[in-house]
Amino acid sequence: MAGQLIQVNTATVSVATPSVTLTGIDSDDVYMVTANNVIPTTDDKNLQVRVTVSGTAQTTSNYDEASKNLRTDTTFSNSGLTNLDRWQPQSASGSATGESGNLILYLFNFNNASEYSFVTVESNYINASGNLFGHQGGGVYTVAEAHNGINFSLESSDTFESGTFTLYKVV
């Protein structure tokens, strides 16, 4: 049956952790990643996402992204950035009571060494004031190489306080 999810890898953060890497991409299928209840240790830190080669995050300046940012407390905004050293699929997330972030990424061409890897993203988080922030967009890594996974970290070398990250194959 088309459209089934097969869990490939998962990681649950329960102690301060600097990054989370999910590997296991080994076919040309589309993959999906979910991240739930993501909370940084320090307030107002941006989530960063990178592709991996042999489990190592690629930090070159080859990440491009575009998005529509939605907020309940003000108007929407558009964003388009090129030549970054990571994708940033979610604005600053907080560590105060009640704050947390969630996201879904779809991964395309990751196992194909002849194509660029790209993602679509849907993310949201709620801040301490109860304002909901949404992010809808996509990104491309402009190097034609195979990638076996995805890496999550926070800006300024912050750590994750909590979060569950799961990689699925879509079949």
Strand order in the sheet with 149-154: 19-23, 149-154, 47-53, 56-57
User: In the chain, what are the domain boundaries?
Assistant: 5-170
Distance CA 54, CA 27 (A): 14
130 torsion bin: left (phi>0), alpha (psi -120 to 50), beta (else): left
Please indicate whether residue 77 or residue 98 has the higher confidence score (pLDDT): 77
DSSP string, 101-166: EEEEEEEESTT-TTS-EEEEEEEEEE-TT--EEEEEEEEEE-S-----EEEEEEGGG--EEEEEEE
What band does 170 get if pLDDT is binned at 50, 70 and 90? very high
Distance CA 71, CA 159 (A): 25
In eight-state DSSP terms, residue 45 is: B
Is pLDDT above 80 for 96?
no
What band does 157 get if pLDDT is binned at 50, 70 and 90? confident
Name residue 168's beta-bridge partners. Answer: 7, 32
Please indicate whether residue 39 or residue 139 has the higher confidence score (pLDDT): 139
**Backbone phi and psi for residue 156, each to the nearest 5 degrees, phi listed first:** 60, 30
5-170: CATH number: 2.60.120
Cα distances (angstroms) measured from residue 119 to each of 31, 40, 92: 10, 23, 20
What band does 43 get if pLDDT is binned at 50, 70 and 90? confident
**Backbone phi and psi for residue 157, each to the nearest 5 degrees, phi listed first:** 55, 30
What pLDDT was estimated at residue 129? Answer: 80
Question: Across residues 88-109, what is the average pLDDT?
Answer: 83
What pLDDT was estimated at residue 42? Answer: 83
Is pLDDT above 60 for 1?
no
